[in-house]
Chain A
Amino acid sequence: DIVLTQSPALAVSLGQRATISCRASQSVSISRYNLMHWYQQKPGQQPKLLIYRASNLASGIPARFSGSGSGTDFTLTINPVQADDIATYYCQQSRESPPWTFGGGTKLELK
């Protein structure tokens, strides 16, 4: 199985940039597709798709969210961070199926 590793938590000040990383145990890229996706989950809510295929913004997601990366290293950036962005962020790979796997999540906290 492809293991995705995320830092457990990140503290950031409002209005600053937040950079959340996800490292895969093997490449999740196929030709021109980077099959890494990002989700936001607030307490008591279901996950919500933010970024698909590493860098594509999902419908209705504000432009302060962006994604980058290829191969095994990926990044979700929030700039500037707003109060509504305080949540847990998960990366997910679909390069290998089954199983699709998720990272352990990064909890974004206020500094």
Chain B
Amino acid sequence: EVQLVESGGGLVQPGRSMKLSCAASGFTFNNYDMAWVCQAPKKGLEWVATISYDGSSTYYRDSVKGRFTISRDNAKSTLYLQMDSLRSEDTATYYCARPAYQGVMDAWGQGASVTVSS
């Protein structure tokens, strides 16, 4: 069974940093690109970032470029999202997702809640 389990969320002050992790199991992690998708409270879904299966390519939405870094450790089957210079508008639930083919996200984690507030 494919499982994605996020961790590392919580309350953080504006301007500070936070790192999310996503532990994957039930599939060959290093065969798949991976992505982060966020959802602000009572809002819709927004793609945040994608990393290629080998980590050689990364893509970000404009609003997080230069502040967020997506990375992965294939030996540990773990995906990361380093979030720096956090803003109140980054407050959201962050989902780890597997874009299995042609951008189809066929597996999702349960989400990690991040609240940016003083």
Q: Name which residue of chain B comes closest to A48, CB basis.
A: B108
> A45–B110 Cα gap in the complex (Å)?
7
Is A74's beta carbon under 8 Å from chain B? no
- Determine the main DSSP class of B at the interface with A: strand
Asked if A101 and B102 make an inter-chain contact with CB atoms under 8 angstroms apart, the answer reads: no
> A99–B80 Cα gap in the complex (Å)?
19
> A101–B50 Cα gap in the complex (Å)?
13
In this complex, how many residues of chain B approach chain A with their Cβ under 8 Å: the count is 23
Given the known interface contacts A37-B103, A94-B102, the answer about A46 and B109 at a Cβ–Cβ threshold of 8 Å is yes
Asked if B110 and A92 make an inter-chain contact with CB atoms under 8 angstroms apart, the answer reads: no
Asked if A103 and B104 make an inter-chain contact with CB atoms under 8 angstroms apart, the answer reads: no
A-facing mask of B93-118, CB < 8 A → 1, else 0? 00100010011111111110000000
List residues of chain A with CB under 8 Å of any chain B CB.
33, 35, 37, 39, 41, 45-49, 52-53, 58, 90, 92-94, 97-105
